[in-house]
Structure formats: C-alpha cells, structure tokens
Amino acid sequence: MEKVLNYIDGKWTEALGGEYFNVINPATGEVIAKAAKGGREDAKAAIKAAKREFYNNKNGWRRFSSVKRSEMLLKIADELEKRREEFAKTETADNGKPLREALGDVDDAVSYIRYYAGAIRMPSGASYEVNDGFGPMHSYTVKEPVGVCGLITPWNYPLLMGVQKIAPALAAGNTIVFKPSSETPLSTVKFFKILAEAGFPDGTVNLVMGGGSTVGSEIAESEDVDMVSFTGSTEVGQSIYRASAGNVKKIGLELGGKSPNVIFADTDLDGAVEWAMMGVFFNQGEVCSAGSRIIIEESIKDEFVKRLKERADKMTLGNGITNPDMGPLISESHMNKVLGFIEKAKEEGAKVVCGGYRYTENGCGKGYFVRPTILDNVSPDNTAVKNEIFGPVVTIQTFKTEEEAIEMANDTEFGLAGAVFTKDGARALRVVKEIRAGIMWINCYNPAYVEAPWGGYKKSGVGRELSFDGLEEYTETKQITINLQPGELGWYEKR
Ligand code: NAD
C-alpha cells in the first residue's frame, strides 16, 4: 500500500504523531493509499520554516528575479504536462471524476502555471505625478509578496484548485504552507514531488496533510501566517475569516454557491438543455458554480424538462477510469448528505422527475453513485432551492416576467455565478447586470478561463482568483513618494 508523506522545510516527513489516514477510491470503496496525518505541531513546523525562509533568507525565493521565478514555473508546467496521464489517473482514482475530465484538469493546471509564469513578468504598479502644496513630487507603487501564505483547498478539483493558488502565490515570491482536503491528497503529493525537484530554497514550499480542525485551524489562527487563501464551504470560510482576525491576515475566500440558470422562452432550446447539463451534472455536480437552480419561463418549461430528463436518464454512471458520463460522489457520507437533501425536498413537496436515488447497478454497488436528479414543483423555500447540495441535483422554478426571473435569481444568500439564456441581446445584458453574482454567463454555462477573474459576491466569498487579479491577491501594494526638489526648504513653515 502506497504511503504518502508531508513535505516540510525541504524534507519528506512522517507526521509527528506517527499516524496515517486512509485515502479511498469512491468508485469502489477501496483504500488506495495511506497519508501522513499531520496535526497542529506539523502545521507549526511548516509555518516556522516558511516564515524563516521568507523573512531571514537573504538569498530566498522572494529575492529571485522575476525572470528566474518565471523560468522555474515554466519547467514545473513542462514536467506536469509530460506526466499528464499519470496525474489524471491518480485524480480519477482519488476523486472519482471521469478520466477525460481529470485530463482536462491537468491541462488547465499546466495552462494556469504558464499564465502566472508570464504574468509575473508583466508591468505592475502605477505611477502618479503629484503637486498638492509640497512642491513637485512623484509617487509610484510596487507590488511585493505578502509573506507566508496558508493555502487550503477542497476535494472537487484537487490538483486544479491547488495550482490555482500555488502558481500565483509562488510567482509573486511568497512562501507557502499548503493543506489539501483529506479526501483527495494524492495528486497534490505528486505535484509537490515536482516542486521538491524544482530547486526552491528549503522552506519555500510546504505540504501538510491532516484535518481541517487541526492543520487548517492552525494555519488560520497562526500569527506567523500573513495570508490565507481558502476554497471550500461557506461555513468553514466564515470560521477561517474569524480566526484570521487575530493578526489581521490578508484573506481570499472562494466559497459555496446556489447559482441560478435563467432561461427565457426565446432561447435555442437544445442549446439551453445542453448547457444546463454542463451546468449541473459536470463533475458529478460537485462544482461550486453549478447551475443548480433552473429558473425557466413558464411557457417552455414542460418541453425543456422533458428534454433535460431524456438526456439525464441516458447518462452512464461508472468507475471514472472507464470514462462514463458521470463518476461517483466523493464519499459515503457526502452521498448520504445528498440523498438526505433529496428526501427532505420530497417531504416538502418536490416531485422527482428523474434520479433521486443511489445507483448500484453495472459494477457500481460498492461506490457512492447517485443518479442525476431533477426536482420539479419546488417552492422558493424548499430545502433543495435554498441549500448548496453539491451533487447532481437540479431544481426547476418558473417565471412569467423578466422582473420575476431576476427576483428569483437573487433570492439566495450566495452570489457566485449564474447564466441567462435568450436570443434578445439587450435583455441578456440587462438581466446579467441585475443578478448579484461574481460570474455570469450568457448562452453558455460553466466555461472558466485563467485569463478571466473568478470569485463571488455575498456569502460566496472575498477576493478573486485566476487572471491578473488573482496574482495581485498575493501581493501587497507599497506606495513610494519622491521629492523632486530636495534642495527647496521651508515647507514646515508654509504648512
Ligand atoms: P470544506 O469547507 O469542508 O473543506 C475545505 C477545506 O477546508 C478542506 O481542506 C478541509 O479539511 C478544510 N477545513 C475544514 N474545516 C476547517 C477549519 N475549521 N479550518 C481550516 N480549514 C478547515 O469544503 P469541501 O467539502 O472540501 O468542498 C466543497 C465546498 O467547496 C463547496 O461548498 C463548494 O462550493 C466549495 N468550493 C468553492 C469554489 C469556489 O471557487 N468558490 C471552488 C470549489 C469548491
């Protein structure tokens, strides 16, 4: 059985407590690896190394030129690309997603690293001519790394969510302490093997696996961590926000969602069905931006639901390695949570159009499979409308007017994403402006690119990832003012 270790201060290390936790393939329920179970002391050791490296090493990573940092990142991307298949197979075994989706994740990860390798060589900062009574002055800003960055990720895109943080954090010159989800540490460990070979000074990159309430909390609470970037549930994000207040950390939070997919009657119906599938059933529906609330104009609802059901019923479920349409959910407990939401929604009046149960046929008996589920006849306060289910479950609500559609779309505590389907361009632009969310799509659902920013309004988060904005999150801005006439005196009296 493979045993994987933490990486702290340039060394692969057993957990200080000597314990391991099981890593399970959710398609089969089998234990596929044992991972070192770090605790608070392991996190402290990693933070200490990252702090020493950032603040005390005169030849440390942050003092590498941006050209050198960029070149190292490009080599890391090349190595990851070479091992594309191996990484994707690991991700599928650990997370359950179909292999082709895991391959797509590795491709995206490579692209993200290359983007930030380029972005760090772009001009940054600004320049200001000022003359407000102190004579001619010139101000300019420089971007500097924040310091020790604690990075904490979920299980739905293990490699990609990690790289989304690691690449910009390192590009900007920070040192990092990384904690992956205990459900899915394996692709991260492999990625750290590449980082370990890349030539970073010891203490620059640290990996600590273990529980959220131990390793995660230590990172959030530590006065020696300068920034936390977290992707995960809103509830945990809130606790990290509170814990970070101790030393007023810089913070990035990418949290949950309950995103509306608004479909008008004038849309191309087949296109809307296709994108709705992508919106809610891709990655088993375990997607933060999932279009899990379909809000559709009443006149086309029956036809739309009929077509969506036909597509959903045809979906094949199976072990991700065989490339089915959908893999298993991440764990038995998560599957039970999803099924529990469906049961409660039914008790509250929802009608199950399709799915709604655990799937055990075709070799799926030991895994955690749930059939793609459509719930109709839901009231606005139905459990399935209100809560992030994070599985292949979509609700159907109808509207008669544009105003009603917008009101329904905004009737949520979340504000991550959403979409509008219509052939009326002006209406599309009006509606996306009215919906309170950080990411909106018109006539498509879910495409994401490293070039464009990602992040939420309301309880979906703070800050942005991806794009140049994502790089700036890992920097501090320093403003510097120069007196252009140092020989001129008497300012004290004049003021
Ligand atoms: P989670 O919040 O349970 O866990 C996320 C990470 O936080 C894990 O590594 C976990 O161990 C750690 N953690 C748990 N408790 C902690 C604590 N008290 N202090 C510090 N760390 C702690 O989320 P999950 O179940 O792994 O992932 C699903 C959630 O992630 C969903 O809500 C989803 O919407 C969200 N998500 C958001 C985005 C986005 O871009 N907004 C992307 C992916 C996932």
Mind listing the pLDDT tens digit for each residue in 176-202? 999 999 999 999 999 999 999 999 999
Judged against a pLDDT cut of 90, whether residue 21 lies above it is answered with: yes
SS3 readout for the chain: CEEECEEECCEEECCCCCCEEEEEECCCCEEEEEEECECHHHHHHHHHHHHHHHHHCCCCHHHCCHHHHHHHHHHHHHHHHHCHHHHHHHHHHHHCCCHHHHHHHHHHHHHHHHHHHHHCCCCCCCEEEECCCCCCEEEEEEEEECCEEEEECCCCCHHHHHHHHHHHHHHCCCEEEEECCCCCCHHHHHHHHHHHHHCCCCCCEEECCECHHHHHHHHHHCCCCCEEEEECCHHHHHHHHHHHHHHCCEEEEECCCCCEEEECCCCCHHHHHHHHHHHHHHHHHCCCCCCCEEEEEHHHHHHHHHHHHHHHHHCCECCHHHCCCECCCCCHHHHHHHHHHHHHHHHCCCEEEECCCEECCCCCCCCCEECCEEEECCCCCCHHHHCCCCCCEEEEEEECCHHHHHHHHCCCCEECEEEEECCCHHHHHHHHHHCCCCEEEECCCCCCCCCCCECCEECCEECCECHHHHHHCCEEEEEEEEECCCCCCCHHHHC
pLDDT at 491: 80
Note the pLDDT tens digit of each residue in 395-447. Answer: 999 999 999 999 999 999 999 999 999 999 999 999 999 999 999 999 999 99
Residues 65 and 26 in one domain: yes
Q: Which residue has the higher pLDDT, 115 or 491?
A: 115
Domain presence at residue 451: no
Residue 288 known to be catalytic: yes
Q: Which of 179, 221, 254, 288 has most ligand 1 atoms within 8 Å of its beta carbon, as the pocket-test mutant?
A: 288
Residue 149 known to be catalytic: no
pLDDT at 136: 87
Task: Calculate what percentage of the chain has a pLDDT beyond 70.
Answer: 100
- Band (pLDDT 50/70/90 cuts) for residue 489 is confident
Residues 209 and 172 in one domain: yes
Query: Cα(327)–Cα(27) distance, rounded to whole angstroms?
Result: 7
Judged against a pLDDT cut of 90, whether residue 107 lies above it is answered with: yes
Does ligand 1 lie within 6 Å of residue 329's CB atom?
no
pLDDT at 403: 98
pLDDT at 181: 98
Q: Mean pLDDT over residues 36-51, rounded?
A: 98
Domain presence at residue 51: yes
Residues 220 and 337 in one domain: no
pLDDT at 494: 78
Q: Which residue has the higher pLDDT, 89 or 1?
A: 89
pLDDT at 320: 98
Residue 427 structural domain: 260-442
Nearest to 387 by CA among 234, 231, 161: 234
For residue 233, how far is its CA from the centre of ligand 1 (angstroms)?
A: 4
Domain count, the chain: 2
Note the pLDDT tens digit of each residue in 241-263. Answer: 999 999 999 999 999 999 999 99
Domain presence at residue 485: no
Domain presence at residue 455: no
Residues 288 and 140 in one domain: no
For residue 271, how far is its CA from the centre of ligand 1 (angstroms)?
A: 32
Residues 245 and 270 in one domain: no
Residues 272 and 410 in one domain: yes
For residue 461, how far is its CA from the centre of ligand 1 (angstroms)?
A: 12
- Nearest protein CA to atom 20 of ligand 1, as residue: 216
Specify burial of residue 199 (Cβ count, 10 A radius: 0-12, 13-18, 19+).
Answer: exposed
Q: Mean pLDDT over residues 2-15, rounded?
A: 98
Residues 383 and 425 in one domain: yes
Residues 340 and 205 in one domain: no
Residues 216 and 272 in one domain: no
Domain presence at residue 305: yes
User: Hey, what long-range contacts does 1-4 have (CB within 8 A, 24 or more apart)?
Assistant: 1/31, 1/33, 1/34, 2/32, 2/33, 2/34, 3/33, 3/34, 3/35, 3/36, 4/33, 4/34, 4/35, 4/36, 4/185, 4/186, 4/189, 4/209
Judged against a pLDDT cut of 80, whether residue 133 lies above it is answered with: no
Which one from 91, 183, 221, 254 is the annotated catalytic residue? 254
- Nearest protein CA to atom 14 of ligand 1, as residue: 212
pLDDT at 193: 98
Q: What is the CATH number of the domain that holds 378?
A: 3.40.309.10
Starting at the edge strand found earlier in the chain, the sheet holding 148-152 runs: 11-13, 6-8, 205-207, 175-179, 148-152, 227-231, 250-254, 461-462
Q: Mean pLDDT over residues 13-18, rounded?
A: 98
Does ligand 1 lie within 6 Å of residue 389's CB atom?
no
For residue 347, how far is its CA from the centre of ligand 1 (angstroms)?
A: 28
Which one from 149, 288, 354, 364 is the annotated catalytic residue? 288
- Nearest protein CA to atom 26 of ligand 1, as residue: 154
Nearest to 464 by CA among 452, 449, 476: 452
pLDDT at 155: 98
For residue 471, how far is its CA from the centre of ligand 1 (angstroms)?
A: 21
Domain presence at residue 151: yes
Cα distance between the two ends of the chain: 75
Residues 251 and 264 in one domain: no
For residue 234, how far is its CA from the centre of ligand 1 (angstroms)?
A: 8
Residues 163 and 273 in one domain: no
- Nearest protein CA to atom 9 of ligand 1, as residue: 181
Please give the mean pLDDT across all residues of the chain.
Answer: 97
Does ligand 1 lie within 6 Å of residue 272's CB atom?
no
Domain presence at residue 366: yes
Does ligand 1 lie within 6 Å of residue 95's CB atom?
no
Judged against a pLDDT cut of 80, whether residue 132 lies above it is answered with: no
Displacement of CA 181 from its chain's centroid (Å)? 12
Ligand 1 atom closest to 182 (CA): 11
Q: What is the CATH number of the domain that holds 56?
A: 3.40.605.10
- Band (pLDDT 50/70/90 cuts) for residue 206 is very high
Domain presence at residue 448: no
Predicted TM-score of the model (pTM): 0.97
- Band (pLDDT 50/70/90 cuts) for residue 482 is very high
pLDDT at 487: 84
Name residue 20's beta-bridge partners.
36
Residues 145 and 235 in one domain: yes
Q: Which of 105, 207, 236 has most ligand 1 atoms within 8 Å of its beta carbon, as the pocket-test mutant?
A: 236
